[in-house]
Copies of this chain bind each other. A is one copy, B any other.
Amino acid sequence: MAIRIEPSQPGARAPLSQDRVLHAAVELADREGLSALTMRRLAEDLGVEAMSLYYHVANKEALLDGVVEMIVAEIEGQVGGFDEDLVDEDWVATMRRRILDARTVMLRHPWAPAVFETRTSIGASVMRYFNSLLGIFRQGGFSYDLAHHGMHALGSRALGFTQELFNPDPNGEESDSDPDGNEAEMAAMAAQFPYLTEMLGEVAHDDPDSTLGWCDDQTEFEFGLDLILDGLDRLLTDD
């Protein structure tokens, strides 16, 4: 009588699958950043040779497409499904809540925006997400034409992020033109970039973080989002 083999023996690793590969990819990027997400490094995490991955994903582009799908699926979970959005309130409130929910997922994966922006085609869960936003527009009374403009106006904000231009890397060293520098540098700054310098002096007061660090990303995101949603609502009710 044969001894029943345990499904997961100690030392016997679970077989690879596309899902396991994608999960491991997200975890690796979460843990060590996007630059650590290489085929070789990912294989190592999975206890496998790099070339084994190619049995489950066509290539690295396909891997990244899959990772995007994972993130949007996480948004879908966060929202509790995209289907049942009967708007029994302001369309603005519904849209705002959905997008801010997406944002909380994005904030858990700070590397994700960079991946989204390199994608060139979209998968099923991204389509479901965009479809749900379109549904909110429609139930709010938008024509498809205006809803289409609205999607473009939102841009990446629809997915809960704005790719900040020139945001300082957290582990960045002091730059030479750092305004915390000596007075001569400050004076040179003020002469070349008067408005910028004065703004820095005025707004940076509130926050101990220097120069570029004073911005509250969440506040700025919501400001921009509300500006666009209000503008669209105005266009809607004008017509």
Contact = CB atoms under 8 A, between A and B. Distances in A.
A196 B126 CA distance: 11
Nearest to A214: B148
Contact of A166 (B121, B163, B192): B121
A208 B168 CA distance: 43
B166 A224 contact: no
Contacts of A158: 165
Contacts of A162: 152, 155
Interface stretch (A16-24, A47-55, A130-138): A130-138
Interface string A140-182: 0000110111001101101100111111110010010100000
A126 B98 CA distance: 34
Nearest to A149: B223
B167 A120 contact: yes
Contact of A128 (B165, B192, B231): B192
The A interface, classified by DSSP as helix, strand, loop or mixed, is helix
Most buried by B among A114, A135, A156, A165: A165
A227 to B, nearest CB: 4
Contacts of A169: 120
Contacts of A228: 224, 227-228, 231
Contacts of A135: 194-195
B223 A152 contact: yes
Contact of A202 (B117, B128, B144, B196): B144
Given A155-B162, A155-B165, A227-B231, A149 B192 contact: no
Nearest to A226: B231
Nearest to A116: B165
A120 B155 contact: no
Given A134-B195, A138-B195, A148-B203, A172 B215 contact: no
Contact of A215 (B116, B152, B203, B230): B152
B163 A199 contact: no
A198 interface: yes
Given A165-B116, A168-B120, A155 B198 contact: no
8 contacts: A121-B172, A127-B177, A128-B193, A131-B192, A145-B203, A149-B224, A163-B163, A228-B231
